[in-house]
Amino acid sequence: MATKNVRGIEPAVVEPVAGPRERYRAQVRAEVQELAWVQVTQTGASGLSLKAIAKQMGITAPALYRYFASRDELLTELILSVYRELAELVEAAAGARDADRDKLIATATALRDWALANPQRYLLIYGTPVPGYAAPPSATELAQRIFAPLLASFPGTPDQVLRQSLTFWTRLHGVISLEVAGHFRGMPFDPSELYADEVTSTVAGLP
């Protein structure tokens, strides 16, 4: 969609050709999604309510149907945006390093930091599945983009490498998900130390 102008210079605004109506649409959509996030953060995915969002915007609920076909479509967009956000974050963390081990450590660190800063976002994609809601097919591709940076080129058959990466991932998730869900609360240790130990010892164990 983004087009360059005649001299090949990227314009400052993202969608420069859009008329005022399209620009307005984009703004409203963004505002809806923002309020939706506040809701999901406070009440979980099942608490997402179009009527409540409309109320907060000082608008009637049917008006939202100009911007989203249904509640499920809005939820889907939220979920996909989480996948995208996390994929970019993880790719950036991995891309900034050369050595495989550094890459893995940087990625793991970025993952936890992000999860702690956005617990509900993390839980939205890795937590209890929303009953009756099926993620769109594109979510699977994005999930793989998140997983890919954990695939490092260590010696071994493709199967072994996959297994190592998977295990790295499940270990990170084990610590992060328990912490994010509050299961470490009141326990006599520092979760960030536990995580750091887990990351370094796992990376050190790789061939």
Applying CB under 7 A, the residues found at the interface with DNA are 19-21, 24-25, 28, 48-52, 58-63, 65-67, 70-72
Q: Which two tokens stand for residue 63?
A: 């008006």
Pick from 164, 163, 172, 1: nearest CA to 93: 172
Q: Is residue 145 within the footprint of a copy of itself (CB under 8 A)?
A: no
Q: Round to whole Å and give the CA distance between 126 and 173.
A: 9
Q: Give min distance, CB of 84 to a copy of itself, in A.
A: 17
Three-state SS annotation for 118-140: CHHHHHHHHCCCCCCCCCCHHHH
C-beta of 98 vs 159, nearer to a copy of itself = 159
Q: How far apart are CA 200 and CA 198, in angstroms?
A: 6
* Nearest approach, Cβ of residue 75 and DNA (Å): 9
Binding to a copy of itself, residues 169-198 (CB under 8 A): 169-175, 177-178, 181-183, 186-189, 194, 197-198
- The Cα-based distances of 45 to 98, 115, 129 in angstroms read 38, 16, 10
- Residue 151 CB, nearest approach to a copy of itself (Å): 13
Distance, CA of 97 to chain centre = 21
Q: Which residues bind a copy of itself (CB under 8 A)?
A: 42-44, 46-47, 123, 126-132, 140, 143, 159, 162-163, 166-167, 169-175, 177-178, 181-183, 186-189, 194, 197-198
